[in-house]
Amino acid sequence: MQAEGLRVVGVLGSVDTEEAAAGIADAAVEAFGGIDLIVNTIGGAPFALSFDAITESQLLDTVRLNTWPALALIRAALVRGLADGGGSVVNISSGSPRKTTSAMVGYAASKAALNAMTRTVAADLAPRGVRVNAVSPGLVRTSATRAVWEADDGIAAGSALPMGRLTEADDVAGAVTFLLSDDARQITGVNVDVDGGNHLRGAGWTPIG
């Protein structure tokens, strides 16, 4: 990224610890003079198991992965001036809480928790001038989902969506950028679906192929 002329700084560590969150916030202040914007992208489904197979620790670890890093980074940034000029936060959520995919029971529960957290923190921080929103991507053309779209370049996956094409990473980035910007200065506590309209189909993931 630096080779492309971008001003970036990297921080080594595991983001699921408060120490790492503090380190990220400190590095941002040192490199750029302050913190105005946060995008919380950490999350995942480490245990793709149904309700009768997932263990207590696996469920709780999944909830922690999809909630605690975001909360820790917001708190660390607030201590270091996020609210001084009216900051903006976007949490990356998912459409999973509205689906009934058996193997995603832990992931769906954790993203539902993140959604509730987003609204609650948005209400808490609104008086301080900080906006907190979420973006919920659907199936996105990335290296992680290559097995789903690579064979036909995403034609089948895209045609199964109301909008008729597979969601690209830039589609998600565009929604995030808008919510971070002053154009969204009156928007807080919302969750924007970026999924080609798949959320309109109700429970269950749309079949592909």
What residues are annotated to the active site? 107
Evaluate whether 139 touches 166 at the Cβ level (below 8 Å).
yes
Handedness of CA 28, 29, 33, 35 (dihedral sign): positive
Evaluate whether 94 touches 136 at the Cβ level (below 8 Å).
yes
Q: Is 130 exposed, middle or buried (0-12, 13-18, 19+ CB in 10 A)?
A: buried
**Residue 47 and residue 100: Cα distance in Å, rounded?**
16
Q: What 3-state DSSP class applies to 46?
A: coil
Count of all residues that appear for the chain in the document: 209
CA angle 26-27-33, nearest 5°?
Answer: 85
**Residue 158 and residue 17: Cα distance in Å, rounded?**
38
